Structure 1
Amino acid sequence: MPETSRRVVAWVTMSMDGYTSGVEGPAHDAWLYEHVKHEASAAHFEGIWRGVSTVLLGRTNYEGFYSVWPGITRDPATDPRNRDLGEFLDTVEKVVFSRTLETADWENSRVARDLEAEVKKLREAPGKDILVANSASIIQALLRADLIDDLRFVVVPALLGGGLRLFEAGIPASNWSLAQTTVLPDGAIGVHYTRA
């Protein structure tokens, strides 16, 4: 990778047994919502998204984010940190990878089909980091294509016993170096790995 290339950062919150969502799907993931409502969790994530100028999403996460964040951002009762995150999500370049979605209506959003080609093009374009926001299928595909530079996990102290697993069979072997760990007050642990 040339020195001037943008970094592709995969960010995901998962359970101790490696699931990003439980058996019943994201709408029922109380374990996740309990974690993200803590001030320290929001501050930890802010340290990541402030260094980003493009966000990559799968269709499911895009639709989920779009259904809640514009309302949160415009709610006068929203705290300043969440309003800042909402404004970031409104204005940041968002690339949605989907085979079925035709248009992306959220401000500064567009649909793309060819993940590898798009990410290679984005890496060489001007800008800050490129963030894959909690989209397990996108992270898996980019790991297979050797296009992720940083893995940033928050491991929440919960066992789900099933659901959507981040690491499936077929992910190629690779080595990573530990860059940072962060212990959060709710017992979650933030871990940052970079390519070795």
Structure 2
Amino acid sequence: MRKTILFIAMSLDGYISNEYGKVDWINGQNQNVENIDTYSTFIKDIDTVIMGWNTYNQIVTELSPEKWVYPNLISYVITHRELSSTNNIIFTKSNPSVIIENLKKKQGKNIWICGGANIVQQLMQNDLIDEYHISVIPTILGSGTRLFEKNLSEIKLELTNTQSYNGIVELIYKHRSF
């Protein structure tokens, strides 16, 4: 069965972007040290990515304005804007929980929740995230967009893997089965 996986970076104090919506602080403690590439391993088991408008807009305007970074994935962009979809980018007003529930009924690889916080929180409230892959960046932002809000219900997790490199700590959790 397909899994829904949150694969995201956050600051030590729990933010996924700074107060200006930027993510340029996401890097290790030493610019001259190469980070381990866990993304390439992760993405091999993914065929669908879910993101909100802000994440999409940041990708196409700042991070990769020349070409779409996920050409081999079906991308769902949750937005209230009226935009024309393409073969692999689907703009939708649908509830992210409904999208996930429908996708999990179909054959395919895993589903990546790329961002943003609002989508993550909706999926968490409906208990639709199977695994949490969180890279904790050695930075304290003090403000910005929080990954986890206070109004979420308790979710019990089991730590399945951890690794650290260049000050970054990667944590992988799944739902507790006990």
Fold match (TM-score > 0.5): yes
Match of 1:165 in 2: 146
Match of 2:105 in 1: 124
Contact 1:90 1:106 in 2 (8 A): no
Match of 2:135 in 1: 154
Distance in structure 1 (CA, Å) of the matches to 2:67 and 2:57: 15
The alignment status of 1:19 with 2:21, answered yes or no, reads no
The Cα shift of 1:104 comes to: 5.0
- Following superposition of structure 1 onto structure 2, how do residues 48-127 of structure 1 map, counting pairs within 5 Å? 48-67=42-61, 68-69=63-64, 71=66, 86=69, 89-98=70-79, 100-103=80-83, 108-112=88-92, 113-127=94-108
What's the C-alpha RMSD, in Å, of the aligned pairs?
Answer: 1.9
The Cα shift of 1:93 comes to: 0.2
Structure 1 residues 189 and 126, CA, compared in 2 at 3 Å: closer, same or farther? Answer: same
Match of 1:189 in 2: 169
Distance in structure 2 (CA, Å) of the matches to 1:11 and 1:90: 18
Letter in structure 1 aligned against 2:18: G
The Cα shift of 1:105 comes to: 5.1
Cα displacement string for residues 77-97 of structure 1 (whole angstroms, at most 9, x for unaligned residues): xxxxxxxxx3xx022100111
Gaps of 5+ in 1: 74-85
Contact 2:50 2:115 in 1 (8 A): no
Letter in structure 1 aligned against 2:20: E
The Cα shift of 1:70 comes to: 5.7
Cα displacement string for residues 108-137 of structure 1 (whole angstroms, at most 9, x for unaligned residues): 011222222111000111110000013211
Distance in structure 2 (CA, Å) of the matches to 1:171 and 1:51: 28
Distance in structure 2 (CA, Å) of the matches to 1:69 and 1:91: 15
Distance in structure 2 (CA, Å) of the matches to 1:52 and 1:192: 16
The Cα shift of 1:162 comes to: 0.7
Percent of paired sites with the same residue: 25
Match of 1:83 in 2: none
**Structure with the higher fraction of residues in strand conformation:** 2
Distance in structure 2 (CA, Å) of the matches to 1:193 and 1:114: 25
Taking structure 2 as the reference length, the TM-score comes to: 0.88
